Chain A
């Protein structure tokens, strides 16, 4: 079954506004990652947060992780038209191995209106 479930499924905001996406998962994790997929392209890694971290920043991205609630959020500040894409959270099993396959959520499709 899907480990990560994002909400909302779709989000449309005006350029310059902030966008928040949420992700929930079911089992213990080692890391949680967020990826972006532009239409017809492969996934681009955005940010990784470890299970012992609560918050992480990278440029206009802010990720939080609440392992007690098994949830994470991705905040994109000052959105731009180029941020239009689908965003996926992904978790790996708590086995400590780098070769663990990722389990992806169904994604949030973000549209930034100019």
Chain B
């Protein structure tokens, strides 16, 4: 597709529950990124992939966050045992080189 697609649009989870977010990057883009935006301001880089390989995961809280980008499947970001502080909008982006194309985001609310 020509746009990055993200599902679901909204996700509500009780504290301690699992959350799984999906992203379909633009076809032909080799790079995929996940970002977290809290309070409509700061974007935090979480992880990047080059094809299905993790490139940089320095932003990931590793004990609870995991992500995959497998061939012929949407990419996913999974949060085990969600905490209140995980409430944010999670954006996926894909890129053919340097410019990144962002999806509309998934708003995660942890109650």
Contact = CB atoms under 8 A, between A and B. Distances in A.
Interface residues of B, number: 31
A103 B45 CA distance: 7
A101 B45 contact: yes
Contacts of B48: 99-101
A101 B56 contact: yes
A107 B55 CA distance: 26
Nearest to B95: A98
Given A43-B102, A104-B43, A98 B91 contact: no
B74 interface: no
Contacts, number: 70
Contacts of B55: 97, 99-100
Contacts of A107: 41
B31 A99 contact: yes
Interface in A25-57: 30-31, 33, 35, 41-45, 48
Contacts of B43: 88, 90, 102, 104
A33 B62 CA distance: 28
Contact of B100 (A2, A45, A86, A106): A45
A86 B103 CA distance: 16
A73 to B, nearest CB: 19
Contact of B91 (A42, A86, A100): A42
B33 interface: yes
Interface of A: 2, 30-31, 33, 35, 41-45, 48, 86, 88, 90, 92, 97-104, 106-107
Q: What are the nearest 9 A-B pairs in CB distance?
A: A101-B45, A99-B55, A42-B102, A104-B43, A43-B102, A99-B50, A99-B48, A99-B31, A45-B99
